[in-house]
Structure 1
Amino acid sequence: MSIYREQLPQSRGTLFLTDGGIETTLIFHNGFDLPFFAAYPLLDSAPGRTALREYYESYLAIAVHGHQGFVLESPTWRANRDWGAELGHSESDLDRYNRLAIELLESLRKEFSVPESPIVISGCIGPRGDGYQVTSRMSGEEARQYHSHQIAAFADTNADMVSAITMTYPEEAIGITLAAQQAGIPAVISFTTETDGRLPDGTILKDAIERVDEATDNGPAYYMINCAHPDHFSQALEAGEDWVKRIQGIRANASRMSHDELDACEELDDGNPEELGLQYKQLRSAFPSFSILGGCCGTDHRHIGEISHHCH
């Protein structure tokens, strides 16, 4: 059974870390070819499983050394029906991958968990469409139906929670939250923003959070922002506002490039790890609710090490 599903320890305000940009690390540092940016097929091969384990181990070592908690996110951002079909995987195949992913994280938790560094296992859910732009959109009910299959698979494992990463519009986030409520597992919603601090569909961040909370009776355990540089989303934040206090996690990009620029870039922009760590320190000082800190595209263990050092 799960350990923390009934009470997530990262909701108490103590510092928790997450990993960085798993796909960019595997592609640019480890040399893997990941069609459609999907990491989960690596679970099928011994070299792939070894690479995933070593990837997570590098971050867990940082958290244990710093006596910080860790949210261990599964490599399943693309393991939903539409993206799975692009890779030739059926729904039963995806069930197997989602379960294998949680089993891998369970083994890592068993190896690294110490009282000073609680490890929370999260089933990662990605958007149905592209993570950078909204080409089509679902209603909240359509999104609930679409994502319920993957969420139910996670709920049937020892995952403590699910995280919807890189959400581009509110309705999909609403549907995911409703599906998680139905399955009896906590959900976290992480929106991405453009350089103007708005969601890719143009929604103001404040409005997106308030719409999801209203439609789900404050359903998400908390919110996050990911796949954008702090320079992009900090302008949208207002200290002291109730909606900002609902944001507890940040997983920023290393690069200041826009989503369009990143899409066109053939080389990895890994930014400046120390600078990013200092920016996180400033954000955490201005917004004390930001207690779950990690990275997204272009970040790796160096960035998380700096974040751990400056935000401890």
Structure 2
Amino acid sequence: MTTPLPQMHGRPVVTDGGLETDLIYHHGVDLPDFAAFPLVDDDRGRELLLRYYGDYVDIARRAGAALQLETPTWRASADWGDRLGWSAADLRRVNRDSVTLLQRLRDRAALETLLVSGCIGPRGDGYVAGEETDPDEAAAYHAPQITAFAEAGADLVTALTLTGAAEAAGIVRAARAAGLPVAVSFTVETDGRLPDGTPLHEAVTTVDAEGPDYFMVNCAHPTHIAPGVTEGDWVARIVGLRANASARSHAELDAATELDEGDPAGLAQVQETLRESLPALSLIGGCCGTDARHVAAMWGVR
């Protein structure tokens, strides 16, 4: 581990919002397959990314909190790369360059703590349960991306919007093999269960046996997460939360043609209610439909 993880010790940590939806709907950027990583290869794209991330540097500074930024690489794995015409060598390079981009931002930001997290997405669609897999197969699939992050000096790996425990377990194994800390973030449906029907507590307990550093929940509204937060010691393993702006279901969001931004103040309020059930929660940001306004509201800063 290159940098201690402050969120593991209860220190407040800001993280960013819904990168892809922000770029698509607020900046008119075309992101085929929801892939933001090609922007790293383009001068204008890098400028857009740095402006996006800069808003969260400002929020962390105003909140007096640490900051963790996710690389724009949620889709930068082999299957998605193939769809978009990127070779394995190109993916390795862009994953490394994504880490370097944020490291350079860190050098300029002058925050006490800014963690650079290598972001991994599911092999399949983050809104739909993926095909059945086993942990070893998942580890082999995700290892090249994780290795690239390690080579570039990322502080940790964060796997966002996972739909099943087996893939999560494999990602943890691959991260451990690469010597990186790893956070696992599941998404849930309106009933608080993973898209494959697994109860959240069961998924966390199962994957915890692999030894991830902590868990998160993302890409769901707080009112959808709440039914899954049942009593038990397992809830202390959930350290991070990245909520959607909209209270619509995944299916409804998938079919939507316009952005549902919700209400930043209302989202912050309902999330604060959920926070009462998550005693270890310290890392907070947003997911689909959110931007710097939502995250600022969550942190009570203007």
TM-score bucket of the superposed structures, by smaller chain: over 0.9
Structure 1 residue 102, shift from structure 2 partner: 0.5
**C-alpha offsets along residues 93-116 of structure 1, whole Å, 9 cap, x if unaligned?**
00111011001100111111333x
Which position in structure 1 is the counterpart of 2:144?
149
* 1:48-197 matched pairs, under 5 angstroms: 48-115=45-112, 118-197=113-192
**C-alpha offsets along residues 125-153 of structure 1, whole Å, 9 cap, x if unaligned?**
00001001124121011001111111111
Contact in 2 for aligned 1:99/1:157 (Cα 8 Å) = yes
Runs of 4+ in 1 over 4 A off after TM superposition: none
**C-alpha offsets along residues 70-112 of structure 1, whole Å, 9 cap, x if unaligned?**
1111000000000000000011000111011001100111111
Residue 277 of structure 2 is aligned to residue 280 of structure 1? no
Structure 1 residue 44, shift from structure 2 partner: 1.3
Letter in 1 for 2:169: I
Q: Matched residues in 2 for 1:142 and 1:113: separation?
A: 40
Which position in structure 2 is the counterpart of 1:289?
280
- Partner of 2:300: helix, strand, or coil? helix
Q: Matched residues in 1 for 2:130 and 2:158: separation?
A: 22
Contact in 2 for aligned 1:283/1:290 (Cα 8 Å) = no
* 1:5-84 matched pairs, under 5 angstroms: 7-84=4-81
Contact in 2 for aligned 1:284/1:291 (Cα 8 Å) = no
Structure 1 residue 280, shift from structure 2 partner: 2.5
- Partner of 1:309: helix, strand, or coil? coil
Aligned residues, how many? 301
Q: Normalized against structure 1, the TM-score is what?
A: 0.94
Structure 1 residue 187, shift from structure 2 partner: 0.6
Unaligned runs of 5+ in 1: none
- Partner of 1:143: helix, strand, or coil? helix
Letter in 2 for 1:9: P
Contact in 2 for aligned 1:22/1:296 (Cα 8 Å) = yes
Structure 1 residue 279, shift from structure 2 partner: 2.1
Q: Matched residues in 2 for 1:308 and 1:46: separation?
A: 32
Residue 212 of structure 2 is aligned to residue 223 of structure 1? no
Letter in 1 for 2:257: E
Q: Matched residues in 2 for 1:287 and 1:163: separation?
A: 19
Unaligned runs of 5+ in 2: none
Contact in 1 for aligned 2:119/2:159 (Cα 8 Å) = yes
Q: Matched residues in 1 for 2:290 and 2:181: separation?
A: 26
Deviates more, 1:176-185 or 1:132-141: 132-141
Which position in structure 2 is the counterpart of 1:301?
292
Q: Matched residues in 2 for 1:194 and 1:180: separation?
A: 27
Q: Matched residues in 2 for 1:106 and 1:95: separation?
A: 17
State, as a whole percentage, how many aligned pairs show the same letter.
Answer: 50
Letter in 2 for 1:76: T
Contact in 2 for aligned 1:64/1:112 (Cα 8 Å) = no
